[in-house]
Structure 1
Amino acid sequence: MDSRQIQLVISDIDGTILNDHHLVDDQLKDTLLALHKKAIPFILASARSPKGMVPITEELNITDNPIVCYNGALVLKKQKSGHYTSLFSHELDREEVRLIVDVINSQFPEVAINLYSGSEWYVAKNDKWTKMEAVITNEQPIERNLQLLLLDFKLPVHKLLLIGESEEINQLLEYFKHLNLKNSSFYLSKNNYMEITHREVSKDKALIELSKYYDVPLENTMAIGDNFNDIPMLSLAGLGIVMDNAPEEVKKSTKIKTTDNNNYGVSNALRKFIIDI
């Protein structure tokens, strides 16, 4: 497509706008200011929670734009009051969540269960796995009895994150494949991280929802990413751009590549295909 027609940009965070030291591309703030002058929204999409994303939007001065949390399970928009409200929410089936929690407690007790509801992060206990995750995300979990927590029918469950030894997580993944949970989707985000969201949740579906929200045709959207869960989004967007640090299989999902996350990949892509044309 003609890159001059781009009207909406959606970007991954980790490995994309963040370098290997988990710092924001230091050219990006100025680049986004130029993008803002063209009235083109720049939207972040991540497996992160809202609390893990809002500080980045504040650093980049893009708090007026929606944020796609939990890979699309929850899309939030900041209001004039300063509070965030939900644009789209896709919650896990409560009965399936209960079954998953029961299976882990009875058969895989060493696996840490992290339950995300809105902006809150709940754990049964603050073990070594949750402490490691807290260091990575700079968040702190709330300790609760998860079975009792799930009795609150008003509490939405947007994501489960299961952390353990790699071998045990892979065994658990195989176990879940045979449970025939019709409404849940399982994938590994790391060798020892299993993420569970509603089957309808994905970044490409979030892109569809946002393109309708902004009344922008999909062919006029740009997507930037670096990992396997970005592939559908990169393939769907009118202009899909992959980071040079992406795995080779991810690079095959689109013909257009930018520099890596340590060398201003996102800034370079925005300047080349939108700002400097």
Structure 2
Amino acid sequence: MKYKLIALDVDGTLLNDDHELSQGTIETIRMIAEQGTEFVLCTGRAPVSSIPFMRQIGLGGYVITHNGAATVNVRTEEIIYEFALNPHGLEPYMEYCRNNKVHFDVNTTFGLYVENAAGLNQEALDMYHKFLMEPHDLPSWAEFNEPIVKFTIAGMPEQIERVYADWSEWPQAFNMLRSGDLFIDLMHKDASKGSALQKLAEKRGIPAENVMAIGNYYNDLTMLTFAGLGVAMENSPEEVKAAADAVTASNNEEGVKLALQKYCLEEQLRIR
């Protein structure tokens, strides 16, 4: 099989809009994995909310999390590598958020921190619990025992658009990503899904032409363009589709399953 490593985005790609993973997609992934192809989830999620999908499918290997800022072994939960950012550089962004009533959180590879966790409203708690995350009170920088890998804001689309426009005019000390209609992430300048996927491919001895990636949003662009075959979902913005090599059906129409069948199982299915 040509593709030895396949990277899959999670939300808007692998999962449908109800955050479900279809049985048909699971079976297709298992069939390809049994032939020796490695799968890696490449997501903005944390390990705690992405590793369960790998275990549901029955896969080991790795997850690339926090939009490329941390790569973790699925079976041992060992951190393979992470891009730590300078927390002091976040202070102007935090002040902006406080002044403009923008919700933010600070992430280590496994932890998530907010100001006044006990005071979070139910909407914010529901958002975190949907991603299997439990927010903790944000300590001082000196009290962090683990590197900080991501700073995230969340809000309604019009608020996110306004913040993105404002921050785009600032000197760019971080990699600023639109990771969804409701989110903006700040990470280390060198952190991205594409750079993390490249590191993993090199670690596994797999050249780019034998890598396939499937995604649906702006934070997927770097991995779609790194991979020998980059596939965008039908529910992707037009700029993402234009950057990809191919387009599959939407996440609500099992687009991942259809792409995997077309590019990885077509010959086997014809034989059957």
> What TM-score comes out, normalization by structure 1 length?
0.87
* In structure 2, C-alpha distance between the alignment counterparts of 1:228 and 1:169, rounded to whole Å: 14
Which residue of structure 1 aligns with residue 63 of structure 2? 67
- Residues 46 and 69 of structure 1 are in contact (CA less than 8 Å); yes or no, is this contact kept in structure 2? yes
* In structure 2, C-alpha distance between the alignment counterparts of 1:194 and 1:245, rounded to whole Å: 19
Q: Give RMSD over aligned pairs.
A: 2.1
Mapped pair 1:215 → 2:205: yes
**What amino acid maps onto 1:70 in structure 2?**
H
CA offset at residue 227 of structure 1? 1.4
Mapped pair 1:195 → 2:185: yes
CA offset at residue 170 of structure 1? 4.1
Q: Using the aligned pairs only, state the percent identity.
A: 25
Is 16-25 or 160-169 further displaced after alignment? Answer: 160-169
* In structure 2, C-alpha distance between the alignment counterparts of 1:191 and 1:259, rounded to whole Å: 20
Which residue of structure 2 aligns with residue 205 of structure 1? 195
**What amino acid maps onto 1:77 in structure 2?**
N
User: Quick one: which of 100, 105, 109 aligns to 1:118?
Assistant: 109
User: Quick one: which of 80, 83, 88 aligns to 1:87?
Assistant: 80
Which residue of structure 2 aligns with residue 22 of structure 1? 19
- Residues 179 and 217 of structure 2 are in contact (CA less than 8 Å); yes or no, is this contact kept in structure 1? no
For residue 256 of structure 2, give the secondary structure of its aligned residue in structure 1: helix
Kindly report structure 1 stretches of 4+ aligned residues shifted beyond 6 Å: none
User: Quick one: which of 43, 48, 54 aligns to 2:40?
Assistant: 43
* In structure 2, C-alpha distance between the alignment counterparts of 1:20 and 1:154, rounded to whole Å: 36
* In structure 2, C-alpha distance between the alignment counterparts of 1:249 and 1:174, rounded to whole Å: 18
> What TM-score comes out, normalization by structure 2 length?
0.88
* In structure 2, C-alpha distance between the alignment counterparts of 1:169 and 1:268, rounded to whole Å: 33
* In structure 1, C-alpha distance between the alignment counterparts of 2:213 and 2:157, rounded to whole Å: 31
CA offset at residue 208 of structure 1? 0.7
User: Quick one: which of 72, 86, 103 aligns to 1:76?
Assistant: 72
Q: How many residues are matched? A: 264
Mapped pair 1:5 → 2:6: no
Q: Matches of residues 136-175 of structure 1 in structure 2 within 5 Å?
A: 136-142=130-136, 144=137, 146=138, 148-152=139-143, 154-175=145-166
Q: Deviations over 1:213-233 (max 9, x none)?
A: 110000111111111221221
Which residue of structure 2 aligns with residue 264 of structure 1? 254
Q: Matches of residues 47-58 of structure 1 in structure 2 within 5 Å?
A: 47-58=44-55
* In structure 1, C-alpha distance between the alignment counterparts of 2:182 and 2:27, rounded to whole Å: 37
* In structure 2, C-alpha distance between the alignment counterparts of 1:171 and 1:275, rounded to whole Å: 44
For residue 249 of structure 1, give the secondary structure of its aligned residue in structure 2: helix
- Residues 25 and 262 of structure 1 are in contact (CA less than 8 Å); yes or no, is this contact kept in structure 2? no
Is 264-273 or 172-181 further displaced after alignment? Answer: 172-181
Residues 7 and 164 of structure 1: is their aligned pair in 2 closer, same or farther, counting only changes over 3 Å?
A: closer
Structure 1 residues without counterparts, runs of 5 or longer: none
**What amino acid maps onto 1:85 in structure 2?**
E
Q: Give the structure with the larger helix fraction.
A: 2
Is 35-44 or 262-271 further displaced after alignment? Answer: 262-271
Is 186-195 or 207-216 further displaced after alignment? Answer: 186-195
- Residues 121 and 141 of structure 1 are in contact (CA less than 8 Å); yes or no, is this contact kept in structure 2? yes
Structure 2 residues without counterparts, runs of 5 or longer: 268-272
Q: Deviations over 1:198-221 (max 9, x none)?
A: 111111111211110110000111
Residues 173 and 246 of structure 1: is their aligned pair in 2 closer, same or farther, counting only changes over 3 Å?
A: closer
* In structure 1, C-alpha distance between the alignment counterparts of 2:122 and 2:250, rounded to whole Å: 32
Q: Deviations over 1:45-93 (max 9, x none)?
A: 100011110221111111x1100101100000135xxx31111100111
